[in-house]
Amino acid sequence: MRLHHKIMLLATAMLVLAGLTQAEEKAPKFLARVDFTGKGINLKPGTATSGKVSNVSWGKEEERSQKLVAQSAPLPMDKWTTITFTFTPEADGSVYMRLMSNWSKDKGKKGMNAYWVLYKSVTAEGAEIKNSDFSEQKDGKIKSWGASKENLYTIEDGEFKDAEIVKAWHNKGVVQTFTVKAGQEVKLTIVVKPFEYVPSDN
């Protein structure tokens, strides 16, 4: 093979590789996110098996210690992932929990890109999560959860076929309030999977 042919093949291979790399970089990255708000009580961040748990850095400074964001690393596509987040309340009381996901904005657009994530179950040690697998549903409502009909989802295939669960993103969360005890660690485990990326239309 002549030298210029080898150079041409090498250049083509490099262009293909660069194209694949750019495609990977542009592919949507889905993150599971659970926000916690202590009702007048401080919440100490703990550990995460994927991503991290931290107090918020926005809003009134005196209230930041009462709020946590637990966010995963990018989720693998087309598979269910189990993630555990921990935190410890400093007093007895109630915690408001919101299941959601990440978001992004494109340059020149006002709207937010939505990263819908499926939640198969939400269980806990150190606290009680009611209707943790979302199976108790009736007339478009999920018992013990605050959600809209847009959050409802029925799995169409795979090992959990026909299971009634929820989907959520940053602006369309699913919520529940639960009771906590002072100094007792809460270990929250979620089973999640990327669902759909919806780009902003404005």
Identify how many contiguous H helices and E strands the chain contains and give both numbers.
Answer: 1, 14
Please, which pLDDT band fits residue 167 given cuts at 50, 70 and 90? very high
Cα distances from 35 to residues 27, 40, 43, 67, 99, in angstroms, run 25, 15, 11, 7, 7
Mean pLDDT, to the nearest integer, of 61-89? 97
When the pLDDT of each residue in the chain is averaged and rounded to a whole number, the result is 89
By percentage, how much of the chain surpasses pLDDT 90? 77
Phi, psi dihedrals of residue 15, rounded to the nearest 5°? -65, -40
- Specify the pLDDT at position 138: 87
Mean pLDDT, to the nearest integer, of 95-123? 94
d(CA 184, CA 190): 19
Kindly list the domain boundaries of the chain, sorted by start residue.
1-28, 31-198
- Specify the pLDDT at position 5: 55
- Specify the pLDDT at position 16: 40
| pTM of structure | 0.85
Mean pLDDT, to the nearest integer, of 157-185? 94
Nearest alpha-carbon partner for 173 in 107, 106, 119:
119
Mean pLDDT, to the nearest integer, of 74-101? 97
Q: Is the pLDDT of residue 160 over 90?
A: no
Nearest alpha-carbon partner for 38 in 98, 109, 94:
94
CATH of domain 31-198: 2.60.120
Q: Is the pLDDT of residue 7 over 90?
A: no
Please, which pLDDT band fits residue 73 given cuts at 50, 70 and 90? very high
